[in-house]
Amino acid sequence: MSRARTQANCARIVLVALLVTCAPSLASTEKSLSDIAPAVDGLLGSPAEDAFLVIGISGTADFVQLGGHLGTAFLDFPQVTARQQQLRGKIETVCSDLGLTVEINVAENGAEFLDYPLSGSAEDMAAIVQQVLIRVYGVDQDTALEFETNGF
């Protein structure tokens, strides 16, 4: 991942984190685990190079972020807050168990981002995202999720 892309991701994550935690209202849409595949499909079809999908867990500051466009996608876990850093080992274990390989990117400010390239169909990628939400964050089918999107 290029330095410019890493910096753009850093700025985007900070903005999205603020939206999710401070204003989970107008821009977000309440969804559930079963709604992830169509959202990933939208991301994969986006021509925008800065397209992203953020899946926030209602009532918390926790979220899973995906970036991508035109058939490619990656899970992106910032390591900025204490909570994100606390979950790092669990994220790495779960993603490894799911057959994903990490790419660690570092922003100019020293913040690390754990990026996991995804492959397969939108349904395959959505299944991985669902497993991450279930195994890392304890989400189930009844958990309300908030989707934030850009570029699609």
Mean predicted confidence (pLDDT) in 61-87: 96
Taking the model in full, what pTM does it have?
Answer: 0.81
Alpha helices, H only, 45-146: 82-86, 88-97, 122-137
- Continuous segment of H or E residues that includes residue 106: strand 103-106
Nearest-angstrom CA–CA distance, 104 and 117: 11
Write the pLDDT tens digit of every residue in 13-30. 444 443 344 333 335 578
Write the pLDDT tens digit of every residue in 91-148. 999 999 999 999 999 999 999 999 999 999 999 999 999 999 999 999 999 999 999 9
